[in-house]
Structure formats: structure tokens, C-alpha cells
Structure 1
Amino acid sequence: MSEIIDCIVIGGGASGFFFAINYAERHPDQSVMILEKSKQVLQKVKISGGGRCNVTHAEFIPKDLSKHYPRGERELIGPFHRFMTGDMMAWLEQRGVALKIEDDGRIFPKSDSSQSIIDCFVKEANRLRVSVKTSQVVTDFNYINNHWQVTTKTHNLEAQQLVISTGSSLKIWKKLEQLGHEIVTPIPSLFTFNIHHTKLTQLQGLSLPTHIKLFETTSTKAPLLESTGATLITHWGLSGPCILKLSAWGAQLLNKMNYHFVISVNWLPDLSEDEVNEQLKRMKFEQSKKQLNKQIEFNVPKRFWLFILEEAEVNSTKNWGDLSKLELNRISTVLRAFTVEVNGKSTFKDEFVTAGGVHLKEIDFKTFRSKQLPQLKIIGEALNIDAITGGFNFQNTWTSAYIAATTN
């Protein structure tokens, strides 16, 4: 005998919980059940943002917000007009979660703990009598006789409405494909670059402003992608916002290239080539008696400056006044166009995101209802929507879940 539920949500992550809470609040007479395959719910919320949970980003104009989504930009403009950053902030603060906006626009709980978000969601789910079932691996779901039949390893369930909020679940995508949905093949987005350059990786921990151009090979003249922002040097290569933006916007392209390509790094993005050259010439004359390793220019850390000199093949014990025009040019080139090969990727674990999922042409973005299957809604990262880092992926989650929960 099947247990009958009004609305079943498959997936107990951020989008599933946010949908269930808002749906239960709008429909207090209906039963709502979340099925989560793991032993714990909201696991991604817990680890996101280094355990602080970057809930959204301080971008308050719908069209501008949508520009942070390599996939989903056009489709999300309408939904963002109905529920976006300010709405989510208000929703949380009305329920006792104080928020703060950091200098880079990222928004976190004032507690600096993702547990604040988890506690809020669990409390609301309990208050609204949402049934949360953990360790429930969904083995099948089908629409038969005007209702959904959902099977787990331990339960047979029936529901009038089914919501898919399973994120990057290959198993669920495969089932949706069997039911007639087109699935865009999933590939990684938001990853860091592996670089085999010992002298560079020895600078691990340094974060510097950069403008980076990405090329297919060293002989390619036109860049395929460009990005500006902070770049973090790591023991395996490069990370940070500038790199993650490149990985998100270039997800499909870089996948086709098997993550082997070339980047040119401008370590002084705020200075023109002429300004860099003039500054170097001025140092040659004004600091002529001082050694390069004693008089550091461009306000960079000493170990980074010594790295630049080594890459430019300039002796760091030389006096500024003894530098040739050729040596000055080499220093300028390394500062403004340090070229290096990328030999693979590493997952950015706190913000793991996949490009791919249910094709967006098959979703009604006024309701997030499937155009293919009756009484089915698909939300969050189960759709082929992904964003750059900074809280934008969560905002898609909140927006899609809220609209799905509050529209018929």
C-alpha cells in the first residue's frame, strides 16, 4: 500500500528545503515530504563559503544579476524580477538570521557560520510540519493515473506533485531523460588551474590583482577568454576569483580542450604598458645606485618581485642604473604578460558546480514547471544553470525554489 503525499520533493539540499518551506507556508492543508538520499540534509549549505555560507551577492538589479550566469542568463531575468537578492535577505532576516555584506559584495550570516542558515531552515520545516526523510535513495518515479508514483529502497509513495531538487545527480538526470527530458551533458564549472611551474607555485599563498587572457596555444594571437580580478597562487597552480570566472565562462570550451591551454597574466592590470615602462625607466635613473633586490618597485611582495626578475633573466643583485634597455623590456613583459601553460584542473571543493542538466527550453520559467511532464517542477542546479562564484549559484537556488513554491 502506497503512502499518499500531496507534494514530494526529491533532494534535501538548499533548493529542496527552500521550496518545501515556502510551499508548506502557502498550502498549510497539504502534506509535504522531502526525500534525501544522505543521512544528513543541507550538506552543501554546510560547507559552502568555507563553512560560512555565501547566501547571495549584493547585486540588486535583475538584469545585472543575470549577467553572472554563463548558462541561464536570459532565462533568469524574469524570475529575478519576482524574487532576488533583497527578497532573500529580507526572508532570512525576518526569521532571525542577521546578514552582512562584505567589501567584495558577498553576503554572509553575521554569525559567519552556515549553521545559522541550516538551523533556520530546519526550524521552519519543523514549524510547518514538513516531513523530512533521510537515507531515502529514490530508485524510480513515474506519472501513472494522474499522480506520481515514487519508489525508494524502503517506501512506496504517491504524490499529486513532484519536485526535483537533486542538483548534479546523474541518476536522476538519467531517469528524467528516460521520461522524455533532454539533458545537457554535465561538465565541471568553477575549477582551479593546474600549472607545473615550480618557481610560481613556490609563491603559494600570494593573492594579487590580475587581468588574464586565455589562449589555445602560445602561437594563438587572439584570446579565447579574458577575466579581471584577484588571483591566488597555490601549491598546484592558480585559483581565486579571476581564475574561477574563466573556468565558469569557459566551462564548455575548456572541456573540449581537455583542460590544456595557455594563459597570459598581467600582474599590473591598473597600469598601461607605457606607465609600466616609464616607471621602470624612472627607477633606473632615480635609484641607479640601489640593487634591484633592495629597491622593490610596483608595491609587490619581495618574493614576488624576485620571481619576476628571475623569470625576466635579470640578476637581482644588479644596480638599477646598470640595467640595459633589453633587461627593462624583459621585466616589463613578465609583469604584463607572464605566459604559462595550464595542464589540467582541480575542483574548487567549497563551491563545486556543474554546467549541464535539464535543457532550459523545456522549463516554464514563470513556474519552473516541466513542459514535458505534468505536475513536475525542476529547480536549482538540476537545471542547466550555473554561475560564477560569489553567492550567485545560491541565488538561483532561492529564486527557482521560491517561484516554484508560490505559483501553480
Structure 2
Amino acid sequence: MNQNFDIIIVGGGAAGFFTAINIVEKNPKLKVAILERGAEVLNKVRISGGGRCNVTHACFEPNELVKFYPRGEKELRGPFHQFCSGDTIEWFEKHGVELKIEADGRMFPVSNSSQTIIDCFLKAKQKLGIAVLTGQSVQSIFKKENTWKIETQSENYLAEKLILATGSNPKVWEMLQTFGHAVVSPVPSLFTFNIKDSRIKELPGVAAQVTVKVKDTKLTSTGPLLITHWGMSGPAILKLSAWGARILHDKNYQFTIFVNWLNDEDTADVEKKLKELKQEHAKKSVSKKSPFELTNRLWESLVLASGIEVETKWADLSKIQLQNLANQLTNGTFQVNGKSTFKEEFVTAGGIDLKEINFKTMESKLHENLYFAGEIVNIDAITGGFNFQNAWTSGFILANNI
């Protein structure tokens, strides 16, 4: 037997719930159902931000906000002018959830618990009478005249409008390809670099403010870098992995990076500074204390890598040693051999081709009454609440249009 609804949303995650709630708040007469393949809804919300849920980012200017999206920058400009981070804060406040800004701009519920966001959504769903049907894995989708027919392993559903909010779900992407939609194949984004190198081997936990470049590409990134047991991580590396998701995938994650440990200082300028230090600190040993904003451990490691013995005094440095040291500080070459990803923070680059979506409505340009919300489309962001903001914005625009 068929179950009838006005609107069916496939995917019980952040985008699916936000879309459903906004639709029914604007039009209480509509009969809306969310189909979720798992036994539980909002799982990614629960674990996001270390269990605190990084709801959005305190960047309130649409033209600035789009710069955090390696894919989707151009397309999101219009949508963000309709619903931006400030609107997200207001929306959650209206629904009883107060958000706070942390030093790095990330925004969390004041409660510091993702459960607050989940409870907010579940309460709204209850109040609005939205049906949430779990354990419903979609097997096929048909369109007959003006009706969508969705078959799960146990039920058939009919609806006038179909919204897909399934995130990075390859099975749904395959179904959409049979409807003529192009899918940009998914590759990992936001990963850390595996590097085995004697210079950093003993330094896990050490951080520095750096500029990193990938050899033979235009990829470059500035920010904190963290040395780990397996190589390098931190915002500078994660940003590079996001912007370089396709390029680094094509290189099979084997490539060379240049690290400027002094952020953006020029090699020649650093060499000049080192010569001055040679005069000033003639009698002191080079490796003991870092004269730059680097930890002493990292400084010592780079000194040794420049061919300077532990007890060497500044006065005894040769011209070649000074050049080597300037180079290690501003242009260290490291071989990357593979990547590591964190399962729960996993983000993919890929999804429905953005050219096939009307960003004023989030409707498919190929099929009437077929809509998309969240990460199912080829949009992704760096960490910091930006992926959720895309979910809220696409859900809001969609609901407005419906």
C-alpha cells in the first residue's frame, strides 16, 4: 500500500530536519515526512564539534563567508544574502537555543552540548506533526506524471515534491544519475598529511604559525600547523587539503610541500637577521634558545638539520651554515606520503553538479519538484561551522520557495 504525503524528505540529518521544520512553520497544512535509513536521526549533529555541535561561524558578511567554501563559493553568494550566519543565530534563539562565539569564530550552543540542537529539532518536529520514519532505506525513485514514488525495502511512498538531503550517499547519487543528473565523483577533503621526517619525528604536539605551499601547484595556505605522530595537521594543513582535494587526489597523495616556519618571512631577510644574531650572540650556543617565535625544540631540530652541531657558537657559523638555516626556516621541503582522515569529521568534495541546480530555489533544473539540501550537492567547506551553515541556508531557501 502507498503512503501519501505532500512532501517527502530523504535524509534525517541536519539539512533534512531544518528544511522540514521551516516548510511546516511557513505552511502548517502540508503533510511532510522525513525518511531516514538508519535507526536514529541527526547522528552527525550528535558527534560534530567534539559532541558540542559547531552550529555556524561568526562571519556575518556573505561575500566574506563564501571564501570558506572550496566548492560552492560562487553559487552560495546569492543564498547567503538571503540567509546568513546572523539569521542562523536568530532562528535558533527563536527556537529556544542560545549560541555563543568562541575566540576562533566558531559558534556553539551555550549549553556546550549537541543534544541541545537535537532536542530543539525533535521538539519542533513533534509540535509541527512532521512524520519521521526510521529504518527506511530508499531502494528506488520513480516519477509518474506529477507524483514522485519512493520505494524503501518495506514501504512505498507517494509525494508531490521530493527533497533529497542525504549527504554523501553514493547510492542516492547513482539513482540521480539514472535521472540524468551529473555527479562530480567524491574525493576526501579535510585530511592530514602523513610525513616521516627526522626533523619532526620527536616533536608531536609542537605547533607553529606557518605558510605551506604544495610543489608544482598554486596551492598555498597560512595558519597554525600542528606536528603529530603521523606527520602534520592543524588548520594550515586542513585548509590546503580542502582547496587541493582534487589535485592531491590526482597525485595519489604523494607530493612535496614547502613549509615556511616563520609564516611569510623572506629567506634573504631571515639570512640577514641570522648574520646580525651572529654578531650579537657571538659567544652563545646557536641551538639553545630560539630567537624567533618558534618553540626551542623545533628551533633546535631545524638547527641540527642545517648541519650545525649542538654546541656550535653563533660566532663559529659559516656562510653556508647560515644559508642552510635560513632555508630550513623559510623553505623546508617535506615529502608527503599518504593522508589520514578522522572518521567523524569526514567531509567529501563531490556531489551533484552545481550547474544543474537553481540556487534561488534549490530545485533541480532537470526535474520539476525535485530539490536538494545540504552536502548532497558539490559544495563543501573547511571546518568551523561552515558545512552546517550551508545546510541551514539551503534548507531555508528551499522552504521559502515551497
TM superposition score normalised by structure 1: 0.95
**Does residue 1:203 correspond to 2:174, yes or no?**
no
How far apart in 2 are the matches of 1:308 and 1:52? 38
Partner of 2:256: 262
8 Å Cα contact 2:6-2:31 kept in structure 1: yes
Which of 320, 328, 334 in structure 2 is aligned with 1:340?
334
Please report how far the alpha carbon of residue 129 of structure 1 lies from its aligned counterpart in structure 2 after TM superposition. Answer: 1.3
1:76-225 equivalence runs, <5 A: 76-216=76-216, 223-225=217-219
Partner of 1:374: 368
Which of 355, 361, 371 in structure 1 is aligned with 2:355?
361
Structure 1, residues 63-108: CA drift from partner, whole Å, max 9, x if none?
A: 2211221211111111111001100011112222221222222212
Which of 236, 239, 249 in structure 2 is aligned with 1:245?
239
Amino acid across the alignment from 1:322: D
Q: Secondary structure, in 3 states, of the residue corresponding to 1:381?
A: helix
Which of 266, 269, 283 in structure 2 is aligned with 1:272?
266
Partner of 2:223: 229
Q: Secondary structure, in 3 states, of the residue corresponding to 1:208?
A: strand
8 Å Cα contact 2:265-2:330 kept in structure 1: no
8 Å Cα contact 1:49-1:350 kept in structure 2: no
8 Å Cα contact 2:199-2:302 kept in structure 1: no
Partner of 1:50: 50
Structure 1, residues 378-406: CA drift from partner, whole Å, max 9, x if none?
A: 11110011112221111111100111111
How far apart in 2 are the matches of 1:242 and 1:348? 16
Please report how far the alpha carbon of residue 178 of structure 1 lies from its aligned counterpart in structure 2 after TM superposition. Answer: 0.6
8 Å Cα contact 2:20-2:130 kept in structure 1: yes
How far apart in 2 are the matches of 1:295 and 1:307? 12
Q: Secondary structure, in 3 states, of the residue corresponding to 1:81?
A: helix
Structure 1, residues 236-281: CA drift from partner, whole Å, max 9, x if none?
A: 1111111111111111111111111110000101533344223322
- Aligned residues between the structures: 402
Q: Secondary structure, in 3 states, of the residue corresponding to 1:67?
A: helix
Structure 1, residues 135-190: CA drift from partner, whole Å, max 9, x if none?
A: 21111111113211111112111111111000100000000101111111111111
Q: Secondary structure, in 3 states, of the residue corresponding to 2:209?
A: strand
Please report how far the alpha carbon of residue 230 of structure 1 lies from its aligned counterpart in structure 2 after TM superposition. Answer: 0.8
How far apart in 1 are the matches of 2:188 and 2:195? 18
Please report how far the alpha carbon of residue 41 of structure 1 lies from its aligned counterpart in structure 2 after TM superposition. Answer: 1.1
Q: Runs of 5+ in structure 2 lacking a partner? A: none
Q: Secondary structure, in 3 states, of the residue corresponding to 2:258?
A: strand
Please report how far the alpha carbon of residue 111 of structure 1 lies from its aligned counterpart in structure 2 after TM superposition. Answer: 2.2
State percent identity of aligned pairs. 51
Partner of 1:306: 300
How far apart in 2 are the matches of 1:122 and 1:198? 51
Amino acid across the alignment from 1:318: T
Partner of 2:380: 386
Q: Secondary structure, in 3 states, of the residue corresponding to 2:68?
A: coil
Please report how far the alpha carbon of residue 372 of structure 1 lies from its aligned counterpart in structure 2 after TM superposition. Answer: 1.2
Please report how far the alpha carbon of residue 322 of structure 1 lies from its aligned counterpart in structure 2 after TM superposition. Answer: 1.7
1:287-298 equivalence runs, <5 A: 287-298=281-292
Structure 1, residues 105-139: CA drift from partner, whole Å, max 9, x if none?
A: 22122222222211211111111111111221111
Amino acid across the alignment from 2:261: W
* Larger deviation, residues 391-400 vs 46-55: 46-55
RMSD, aligned α-carbons: 1.5
Q: 1:122 to 1:267 in 2, by over 3 A?
A: same
Amino acid across the alignment from 1:138: V
How far apart in 1 are the matches of 2:268 and 2:323? 11
How far apart in 1 are the matches of 2:205 and 2:44? 25
8 Å Cα contact 1:22-1:402 kept in structure 2: yes
* Larger deviation, residues 28-37 vs 191-200: 191-200
How far apart in 2 are the matches of 1:202 and 1:29? 63
8 Å Cα contact 2:267-2:331 kept in structure 1: no
TM superposition score normalised by structure 2: 0.96
Amino acid across the alignment from 1:94: K
Amino acid across the alignment from 1:244: L
How far apart in 2 are the matches of 1:360 and 1:270? 35
Q: Runs of 5+ in structure 1 lacking a partner? A: 217-222
Amino acid across the alignment from 1:67: K
How far apart in 1 are the matches of 2:110 and 2:310? 46
Amino acid across the alignment from 2:106: R
Amino acid across the alignment from 2:369: Q
How far apart in 2 are the matches of 1:295 and 1:370? 61
Which of 277, 283, 286 in structure 2 is aligned with 1:283?
277
Structure 1, residues 300-357: CA drift from partner, whole Å, max 9, x if none?
A: 2222112111221211211222222221221111010110111111114343111111
* Larger deviation, residues 103-112 vs 152-161: 103-112
How far apart in 2 are the matches of 1:361 and 1:211? 33
8 Å Cα contact 1:141-1:148 kept in structure 2: yes
